Amino acid sequence: MLEQEIKSQLNEYLKLLENDLVLKVQIGSDKVSQEVDELVNEIASMSDRITIEPGDFPRTPSFSINQKGSEDSGVVFAGVPLGHEFTSLVLALLQVSGRPPKTDEKVIEQIKQLEGPLHFETYVSLSCQNCPDVVQALNLMSVVNPAITHTMVEGSAFKEEVESKDVMAVPAVFLNGESFINGRQTLESILETLGSTVDISELNDKEAFDVLVVGGGPAGASAAIYAARKGIRTGIVAERFGGQVQDTMGIENFITTKYTEGPKLVANLEEHVRDYDVDIMNSMRAKSLAKKDLFELELENGATLKSKTVIVSTGARWRNIGVPGEAEFKNKGVAYCPHCDGPIFEGKDVAVVGGGNSGIEAAIDLAGIVKHVTVLEFLPELKADKVLQERLFSLPNVTVITNARTSEIYGSDKVEGIRYVDRETEEEHTVELAGVFIQIGLVPNTEWLEGTVDRSKFGEILVDKRGATSVPGIFAAGDCTDSAYKQIIISMGSGATASLGAFDHLIRN
C-alpha cells in the first residue's frame, strides 16, 4: 500500500521508537477498512516492536496507537491517515512510544494542567494542508494528558457523518460532541481557546532585544537568521510560523529546489531558524508599536516586548469581497482554501470569485472534484496567465462569467447560492450552488501600525533600499511592504536586506 519512498522513510522513523506499541484496530468489509487493514499490517510488519489487537471504536474503520502495557493513549485515526496526514501518523507512533516532542516544556506543562475529560474529534481531508497542524497538536495533547482523547476523522470515509454535522470546512474540531473550532490552529491557539493562557510576566521580564522581528513567514525567518548570525540578541514574534507558505501546495520556483510543498518548506525554515540563538515566540499577535527609550511592541495577550530595532514582516492575508453573506457563511460554504475544503464539495456546484492566477488555479483544481465550477471575474477579461486560462477553458465543467460584480452570497444555515450583477446590463443574476471560494488577492497585515509608519494607499509599508521605514530603527520586509512583487524568494531577500539595514542602524546609533 505504501509507496517505496514513504516506506523507507517510515522504516527509518520506526527505528526511533522508544517502547513497544499496540495498534488496536476495528475494521469492516468496506474498501476503506481494507485500506486501514493493509496499512496497519504493513506498519506492524516493519517493526517487531509493533503488534496488532482488535479494538472497539464508534467508527469503522478506526485504529488507535497505544504503548504496550500502558493505558490507552486516546490517539485514534478513523479512516486512512495518508496524504498530508501521514506525518501525523508517524509523529503519533513516535510520541505514543515515549519519544519527547519538540515542544516547549512550558507548553507541555500547560497541557498537563488541563482538566478533562476532553474528547476531541477533528474532521479532515487528506488534501488539506492546515489539518495536520491541528491533528498533531491534539494528538500530542492526548499523549501528554490522560484526560484528553483525540480522533482524526477522515471526512471522505464518513460522508454521512460530515453532512449530518454540517462540516463545510476543514479542519473542523468538535469537543465533547460540540463544535469547537474551525480552520488552521496552532497548539498554542488551541490552548488559548481552552482558556489556558501563557504567563505574560515571563514575556514582560525578557531582556530587550537588539532586533525584534514581527512575523514568521519567509521574510521574518530570513531576517531572524541574518540578525542572529551577527551575534546580536534576536527575537521573533509570529502569529503563525510559516505564514502563507503553510497554505501553499506545490512550490516550483524556490531556486535550487525543483519542487517542494509549503509545510515542508516551513519545517525547513523553522529548523534553520532554530539552529541559531533566536527567541521564537509563536502564536502571539502584535497589537501596537511605540517608540519610547526603546521600541515597545505590545502583544494582544497583554505583554510588552522591548527592542532597539524592529523588523516588521507581517505579510498578507486573503482579501474579503465584503458582500452580504460572506462573513455569515464563512465555514458554512464560503471558503478561501481550495486545497483544504475542495473535497467537501465533491459532486456539488461551486463558484470561484476572482479570475487572477490564484482564482484560476483554484477553479482548475476544483473542477477535478466538484460537479461544476462557475468563475466570476469583475473585469471584462480574466487576468490569469495564458497557460492557466488554456487549461481552464479545456475543462468541460467550468463556466466563466466576466464583468460580474458579486452582490450577495445567500442561504439559510449554509450557502445556497450567489448573486452577481452584469456590469454591462446592470441585471442581477442568481447561481444556485453549495460553495463559494473567494480568490481576489491579498491585503497587507499592517492595520496594527496605523499612525506608526508611513504606508501606501493599499496599506503597504513604504521602505527604502535598506528596508528602512519612515521611522528610524523600524525596518520592514516581504509582502507587508510596497515591494513590486510578492514571492517567497523575494520576501527572503528583503528579510535579509532589512536585517542588514537594522544591523547598520545599530552600529551607527
Ligand X SMILES: Cc1cc2nc3c(=O)[nH]c(=O)nc-3n(C[C@H](O)[C@H](O)[C@H](O)COP(=O)(O)OP(=O)(O)OC[C@H]3O[C@@H](n4cnc5c(N)ncnc54)[C@H](O)[C@@H]3O)c2cc1C
The residue ranges that bind ligand X (CB under 6 A) are 214-220, 237-241, 243-245, 247-248, 251, 253, 285-286, 313-316, 358, 445, 448, 478-479, 486-489, 491
Tell me the closest approach of the beta carbon of residue 444 to ligand X, in angstroms. Answer: 9
Tell me the closest approach of the beta carbon of residue 256 to ligand X, in angstroms. Answer: 13
CA 462, CA 492: separation in Å to the nearest integer? 17
Q: Which is nearer to ligand X, 349 or 460 (CB)?
A: 460
| 3-class DSSP state of 380 | coil
Q: What is the dihedral of CA 150, 152, 157, 160, to 10 degrees?
A: 60
Asked if 480 contacts 445 with a C-beta cutoff of 8 angstroms, the reply is yes
> Cell numbers of 432, please?
444556485
Q: Which is nearer to ligand X, 154 or 365 (CB)?
A: 365
Buried b / exposed e over 64-86, threshold 16 CB at 10 Å, is bbbbeeeebbbbbbbbbbbbbbb
Q: Which is nearer to ligand X, 155 or 467 (CB)?
A: 467
Q: Which residues contact 352 (CB under 8 A, 6 or more apart)?
A: 338, 359, 360, 362, 363, 366, 373, 374, 375, 376, 436, 437, 439
Look at residues 379, 375, 420, 419 and name the one whose alpha carbon lies nearest to residue 395.
375
Q: Which is nearer to ligand X, 121 or 361 (CB)?
A: 361
Q: Which is nearer to ligand X, 81 or 467 (CB)?
A: 467
Q: Which is nearer to ligand X, 144 or 498 (CB)?
A: 498
Tell me the closest approach of the beta carbon of residue 294 to ligand X, in angstroms. Answer: 18
Look at residues 80, 69, 65 and name the one whose alpha carbon lies nearest to residue 33.
80
Q: Which residues contact 205 (CB under 8 A, 6 or more apart)?
A: none
Tell me the closest approach of the beta carbon of residue 243 to ligand X, in angstroms. Answer: 2
Tell me the closest approach of the beta carbon of residue 362 to ligand X, in angstroms. Answer: 9
> Cell numbers of 34, please?
481494507
Tell me the closest approach of the beta carbon of residue 287 to ligand X, in angstroms. Answer: 7
Q: Which residue has the cell 517487531?
A: 48
Tell me the closest approach of the beta carbon of residue 379 to ligand X, in angstroms. Answer: 20
Q: Which is nearer to ligand X, 234 or 314 (CB)?
A: 314
CA 5, CA 468: separation in Å to the nearest integer? 46
